[in-house]
Amino acid sequence: MSNRTFAAAAFTIALAIVVASRFIPNDYFFSAAYTVLQFIILATAWNILGGYTGYVNFGSAAFFAVGAYSTVFLYKALHPPLPVMILAGTLAAGVLGLAVGYLTLRMRGVFFAIATLALSVVLYTFVVNWDYVGGARGAYILQPREVPFGLRRYIHLLYSAMVLMTALALVVARAIETSFIGRGLAAIRDDELAAECAGVPTLRLKLFSATVSGALMGMAGTTFPFYLSYVEPSAAFNLSYAVNSIAMPLIGGMMSWVGPLIGAVLLGTVQQVVQVTISSAWNLLIVGVLLVLFVTLAPNGIMGWVDAWRRRRKR
Amino acid sequence: MKCIMGIVPLSAGRITAVVDGVEHDLVGQAPEDIVDLGIVLVPEGRRLFPRLTVEENLLLGAYRRTARAAIARNLAFCFETFPMLAERRMQLAGSMSGGEQQMLTLARALMTAPRILLIDEPSVGLSPLLVIHIINQIRELKERYGLTVLMAEQNFHQAIRIADRGYVIVHGRIEYEGASREELSNNDLIRKLYMGL
Amino acid sequence: MNRLTTWFSAGLLALSLALAAPVHAQQPLKIGFGMSLTGPLAGNGKAALIAMQIWAEDVNAKGGILGRKVELVYYDDQTNPSTVPSIYNKLLDVDKVDLLVSGYGTNVIAPAMPIVMQRNMAFMGLFGLNVNSKFNYDRYFQIMPAGPEPAIGWTQGFFDTAMALAPKPQTIALVGADAEYPALALEGARAQAKRTGLKVVYDKTYPPNTVDFSPILRAIQATNPDLVFVASYPPDSAGMVRAANEVGLKTRMFGGGMVGPQFAALKTQLGPLLNGIVNYETFAPDVAGKFPFLDQFLAKYQGRAVKEGVDPLGFYLPPYAYAMMQVLEQSIKAVGALDQAKLADYMHTYEFDTFVGKVRFAKNGEWAVPRMLTVQYHGIAGNDLEQWMKPGHVTVLAPASYKTGAIMAPYHDNKK
Amino acid sequence: MEFPTALVLNAIIAGLLLGGFYAAVSVGISISFGMLDVVNIAHPAFIILGSYVAYIVNERMGLDPIAVSVVLSPLFFVLGLLLYRIYYLCFEKRGQESLRGLAFFFGILFITEVALVLIFGVDYRMVQTAYSETTWRLGPVDFPMRLVVPFLVSVTMVVGVQLFLTHTFFGRAVLAVAQDQLALRLMGVNPTRVKGLAFALSIATAGVAGAFLIVIQPVQPALGREYIGLVFAVCVLGGMGSIWGTLLGAFVLGIAESFTSTFFGPSWAPAVSFGLLLAALAFKPSGLLGR
């Protein structure tokens, strides 16, 4: 399937889902789905740099927070319509991604991961000390009382935006994967030096991949302030974003765009279910145990299983 | 040689070694256990620990129990044989030139107090002058310690200078076997292979 | 394309499975909330939960409310605000609860607000700081006794006490953690300093995970302030108190807004180090006479708390969690129905008699009159818990109607 | 901005004391991550575990937490051996350690955290020691024993580790093991065994560091997360695989933190520390004393 067909299909399905969801009377579906979709975007975005290119980003929370805080800033400063805020947050996080891309010039492997972690701490400190966006106190972002498109509640609008953004993230990820860019990135992942010798424009590709990855993560964060109504730094920079955006592609499989999607749907749903069924410390335990089990027993994630199964069937 | 050391699994045949009159079957043993018998390989491509100092590299050679007993004597011998190493004992191994590294590799192997020394391509990447030097050092070791040395070397002329016995291996098969220097150098096969005659 | 649909529908299916919880008959009266049972605020969250469970048992023993048994439906919000919207939507749409109350603290109350407001539910908040200032929701009520202007009410006692000192203090240092509560308390303190004409000579914040506080206190000491106001959370409160002791801080009043000394853990661990500190409390054994019937609750609570491994004293949050439920109980009984508008009306209009005293709500849902106690710890020896359960070590300095003694200033003289 | 002598002196001393503690929490990472290439992100969780062990023994028997932790460090050593065994069998043997190993340790981090929550609850715990409230004063400079005792034990431990690594055959094998495992085998050393023992040593240091932690500040199960950034920062800033570097890096971060706190505003301390780390990574990736 060509990328264009795929994109058309993805957006058609996304629109269909949006329309179909209007008949779901239950708001819990929307907020739970919102969370899972948010993780799909984060996992997909992380995978562009982490899975395709082999640079482990520990600072997903920072990109997410840049998206969220750009919305907070614009809300306070100009109060523009939602699409503008989404676009602005995506761009801002993309710029941060570009900066992180330059870090890849000098660092590889764990050093890069630690640099992104450090970057996240530095950004956190800046946000805490930036009073205009609420600083340590946090900021209140009120959901508008009027909801456009005849939707019943604002969460439905946020959910619909999330569905479309998820489709966009998947289309972008798949396009990168199947194009010459994806092959270049894979070459970098396998052996950066050899790739460079073979004429792969490694720097440009890395910058591109870091920028796109960062922008998508930021995009996932742009609607977060409206979802919560109240943002404070520790919520926006929560460790769970960094952990989940690594764990989900790992569980799903990192070689293709389908892996993070499956991982996010699986782990995200399990988290949602566990949260409302086993309400105690045990729910963190489940994430921990799942993580350990998957990396020990299914080293290539669920997609690894699927591929192995397919290969066996062909034979 | 990698088969002897247990690094590459054996496809067929037997490997045995007689150390101190006891015969050992080497097949299926881990490299570290083979080293424990006194059989030591000087690997191709040097394989030093680049971020350790010369001295640390040497001391690591003396890890096995029997080597620790003789550590002072062996260290003194290494520094005497390769005075350059004594000068640079605090330098990081990775920052030395190729020839120096080759000497360190050899010295490090000696620190293990070997009974049988296997040397894989000692001349790779070295200038002709250095090759002569290294080969001379190997001869000295052999004579001084009564070491058994098994050396694989492309540089035929240098190699046969010190060899008691020689085997010519072409494409993995032994094509010729000789017991002395003369026997080896006056041979059709050798001439054909090495001198293009 | 087929693959994509499959994955999406798999996701939707998984979600809908989660939604398909069994729907019970409308028999019990369900009260729903999220509570921090894990994460940084879990200590308080669990303590509050125990108090609410005790309330439910008490009510059910008396035959429930409106003839219906009370059932608490709660989920762990992990002290993570992002979990809150799903929890409250689930409570409303799947569990079909009749009433909502909040979890513990501002950052889990605020995310519940838009959902509560869309459904026009009456909403009781448990120790949220000025949450309603942005939402202006007329069915929001809050049980923490900080008054209609929480930042001001919170700090009032400290400044009233300070300004009564002779000679009048001139300078003040403000310090607090980079987090939501300390930021608000500092905001209040700044306003109070302005009002009382105190000169602010130090005004800085620190990251909550700071290990060593002595550099901060030395910097403060270098400005030689008459008063030091601290707004902190438990771990940094402990660090501050210890560092003040080690640095040998000299000032006339020290403390004000420290969270932590209210709990048994810090009371016993810091012990004599707390001597001389002026701080806020919501209850003290010295004024137990003003809290009739509270002792029977505390007796029940303390028995359970030890088993659950949470604060064994239960002076701080649990009585208020219980009182929050009492307010609901009394309103429902008076209204005779679960009509949210009528409940809210009733709560705005009438005064409630709870375990924490008489409560009346202001227009914005906060207490009409602030009643945060300002106390001074003194005469503490050793690290046993017993001394804290009896009167004599916690003098109440403000508000006037609760006052049990005079302040002993300066702070460092209390250290012998 | 003024810099009075007494404040500067105190800031230096406080920074050194803090740095000593940071060195203790990071030295294990310096071994496992710096020398063995095992990205043990769960290290802080074992530190917290150490805190709780020290706490229980202190509470039940009134023994000094630091002494307890030193005596009980063999337990942590054994725990480390077991953990490495699992790690080796699941990841190293299959040659896929980096990212999956990282996720594995993330999982271990959560599991340890939850285990602690289930056993001890979520409340903050502290210990009281004989020296907790003593402060020596030398002129204008304060030496709070609460920090001095951990500092001394920590520096002893770190220096001990360094001497052990550079002056024993085993220690040198640890230094070499990540560089060339095959060459090490040719010296008659079993690299897996070396790595296992060295990893166990790193976990043993975590146990001791845990006792320092609970002497210095109150501890709750999730506190470990706060230290993830710090331990890697110290290790990388000091230089990978160098124990002296770790000690130096810890002192640098400690002093940077105490100076920022004293003179500029404590709120900026993390930005300064991690800014230093970023700068180090960008301009001298091998760290201060990296080889």
State both tokens at C91. Answer: 């409570």
In a domain, D290, yes or no: no
First-to-last C-alpha distance (Å) of chain D: 38
Q: How many CA atoms lie within 13 A of B27 on its CB side?
A: 7
CATH of domain B16-163: 3.40.50.300
Domain extent, residue D99, equals: 5-283
Tell me: the pLDDT tens digits for D3-23?
A: 788 889 999 999 999 999 999
Tell me: the pLDDT tens digits for D67-78?
A: 989 999 999 999
**Is chain B in touch with chain D: ≥3 Cβ pairs within 8 A?**
yes
In a domain, D171, yes or no: yes
In a domain, D291, yes or no: no
In this prediction, residue A109 carries a pLDDT of 75
Tell me: the pLDDT tens digits for C174-219?
A: 999 998 889 989 999 999 999 999 999 999 999 988 989 999 999 9
Please count the structural domains in chain D: 1
Q: Which chain D residues are Cβ-neighbours of A104 within 8 angstroms?
A: none
Q: Do D108 and A292 touch (CB under 8 A)?
A: yes
Distance from CA of C137 to the nearest CA of A (A): 12
State both tokens at D168. Answer: 């024993």
Q: Which of C308, C326, C319 is nearest to C51 (CA)?
A: C319
Q: Bigger pLDDT: D131 or C6?
A: D131
In this prediction, residue C1 carries a pLDDT of 42
Angstrom distance (rounded) from CA B20 to CA C248: 74
Q: Which of A132, A229, A285 is most worth mutating to test chain C (most C CB atoms within 10 A of its CB)?
A: A229
Is residue D86 scored above 70 in pLDDT? yes
Q: Which H or E element spans position C203?
A: strand C199-206
Q: Do C178 and A280 touch (CB under 8 A)?
A: no
Residue A269: how many other CB atoms lie within 10 Å: 23
Q: Bigger pLDDT: B26 or D97?
A: B26
Q: Do A35 and C111 touch (CB under 8 A)?
A: no
Domain extent, residue A94, equals: 3-314
Angstrom distance (rounded) from CA A167 to CA A185: 22
Flag whether residue C15 sits within 8 Å of chain A, measured between CB atoms: yes
In this prediction, residue A213 carries a pLDDT of 95
Residue C351's alpha-carbon distances to A231, C303, C338, C347, C364, in angstroms, are: 34, 31, 19, 8, 15
Instruction: Tell me the pLDDT band of C323, cut-offs 50, 70 and 90.
Output: very high
Q: Are D168 and B56 in contact (CB under 8 A)?
A: no
**Is chain D in touch with chain C: ≥3 Cβ pairs within 8 A?**
yes
CATH of domain C150-287+371-415: 3.40.50.2300
Ranges assigned E (strand) in C274-364: 278-281, 352-354, 357-359
Give residue for tokens 């360190």: B104
Q: Provide mean pLDDT across the span A49-73.
A: 92
The DSSP line for B11-26 is SSS--EEEETTEEEE-
Angstrom distance (rounded) from CA D187 to CA B108: 9
Tell me: the pLDDT tens digits for C389-404?
A: 989 899 999 898 999 9
Residue B65: how many other CB atoms lie within 10 Å: 11
- Rounded to the nearest 10 degrees, the angle between the axes of helix D191-216 and helix D145-167 is 170
Residue C198's alpha-carbon distances to B129, C192, C225, in angstroms, are: 86, 8, 10
Q: Which chain D residues are Cβ-neighbours of A304 within 8 angstroms?
A: none
Chain A and chain D share a number of CB contacts under 8 A equal to 118
State both tokens at D120. Answer: 């001890």
Q: Which chain A residues are Cβ-neighbours of C207 within 8 angstroms?
A: 125, 128
Flag whether residue C83 sits within 8 Å of chain A, measured between CB atoms: yes
Angstrom distance (rounded) from CA D27 to CA D244: 10
Per-domain boundaries in chain C: 24-145+302-359, 150-287+371-415
Please count the structural domains in chain A: 1
The DSSP line for D208-240 is HHHHHHHHHS-B-GGGHHHHHHHHHHHHHHH-T
CB nearest A230 (choices: C78, C81, C184) = C81
pLDDT over 70 percentage in chain A:
98
Tell me: the pLDDT tens digits for A154-206?
A: 889 999 999 999 999 999 999 999 888 888 888 888 888 888 888 888 889 99
State whether residue C100 is helix, strand or coil: strand
Flag whether residue D243 sits within 8 Å of chain B, measured between CB atoms: no
Angstrom distance (rounded) from CA C391 to CA C284: 8
Is residue C104 scored above 70 in pLDDT? yes
Tell me: the pLDDT tens digits for A12-28?
A: 999 988 888 888 888 88
Nearest chain D Cα to C242, which residue? D133
Per-domain boundaries in chain B: 16-163
Q: Do C19 and A26 touch (CB under 8 A)?
A: yes
Q: Which chain C residues are Cβ-neighbours of D146 within 8 angstroms?
A: 242, 246
CB nearest A31 (choices: C16, C80, C86) = C86
CATH code, domain with A139: 1.10.3470
In this prediction, residue C24 carries a pLDDT of 42
In this prediction, residue B195 carries a pLDDT of 58
Is residue D42 scored above 50 in pLDDT? yes
Tell me: the pLDDT tens digits for B164-178?
A: 787 877 777 777 777
Class of C24-145+302-359 per CATH?
A: alpha beta
